[in-house]
Amino acid sequence: MKTSELRAKNNEDLQKELLELRKAQFGLRMQVATQQLTNTSQVGKVRKDIARIKTIQREKAAAK
């Protein structure tokens, strides 16, 4: 997910996206635990996307 796409979204959309990513992260962690996940790099990508969203939310809150 690109940062420019996230900056264009409002806070409500960012919150929805964050919730979806956290659900995906939980699912990936369960797949890793049960050894069903073959591409483990997905876990890191989801973590970085979550961090991007949180950073943008923080920037928007500080700008107010």
pLDDT (tens digit per residue) in 4-57:
999 999 999 999 999 999 999 999 999 999 999 999 999 999 999 999 999 999
* pLDDT at residue 64, as a whole number: 81
Tell me if the domain spanning 3-63 has CATH number 1.10.287.310.
yes
Q: Which two tokens stand for residue 33?
A: 């635990």
Round to whole Å and give the CA distance between 26 and 20: 10
* pLDDT at residue 58, as a whole number: 96
16-34 CB burial, b ≥16 within 10 A, e <16: ebbeebeebbeebeebeee
Q: Is 52 exposed, middle or buried (0-12, 13-18, 19+ CB in 10 A)?
A: buried
* pLDDT at residue 1, as a whole number: 75
